[in-house]
Amino acid sequence: MQDRRRSFRIGMLLGRDWAILRVGRDDVDVELKNESSCGFGILCPPGRDFQVGQPFFLRTVAGWFSVKTIRVEKVSEGTLVGFDRGPEVANLDRKPKWVPWVGIILAAAIGLLAIPVVTILLGYYQAQPDAAQPTQPVPVSSPIVAAPPPQAAGTP
């Protein structure tokens, strides 16, 4: 019989043996057992059912891939699933929905703290004059009179 495989499966090295399987809206942490240019082998925790031909998205250290189930085998640790590798897809990582709110709250807090600092630096925050001692305005229209020259001692 002729070997019909065009690629070899390679066992995963320590640190590269994790993957995330997107099942509907849920992300399931799975163990990546092996990988080849044509597919992946994973070990999924118990509690998930897989059907041959079922499509999924799989995240590895190399990125997100579209995959299709080609083999399912129940074992004591969970379910061994073989996937046919599809094309690499755009980044499907989900960002938390609260991140924009944190930025808005942080910007508002910085803005509120900046107002007193700016007013102090620009000199608008000055102590008010004492109300018990009012100041007298100097009339602008009064003529300026020069003081008489000093006289020498003993001159009339």
What is the predicted pLDDT for the residue at 154? 63
Bridge partners of 39? 84
* Average pLDDT for runs of 10 along the chain of length 156: 51 67 87 85 88 91 88 91 86 63 79 78 57 60 67 65
Nearest-angstrom CA–CA distance, 84 and 69: 6
Which residue is associated with the tokens 């006289």? 151
What b-and-e string marks burial along 125-140, b requiring 16 or more CB atoms within 10 Å of the CB? eeeeeeeeeeeeeeee
pTM of the model: 0.52
For the chain, give the secondary structure using H, E and C: CCCCCCCCCEECCCCCCEEEEEECCEEEEEEEEEECCCEEEEEECCCCCCCCCCEEEEEECCEEEEEEEEEEEEECCEEEEEEEEEEEECCCCCCCCCHHHHHHHHHHHHHHHHHHHHHHHHCCCCCCCCCCCCCCCCCCCCCCCCCCCCCCCCCC
Determine the pLDDT at residue 86: 86
**61 vs 40: CA distance, rounded Å:** 13
The residue type of 119 is T
Q: How far apart are CA 27 and CA 25, in angstroms?
A: 7
Inter-residue contact 88 to 106 (CB < 8 Å): no
> What is the reported pLDDT for 3?
47
CATH code for the structural domain at 10-89: 2.40.10.220
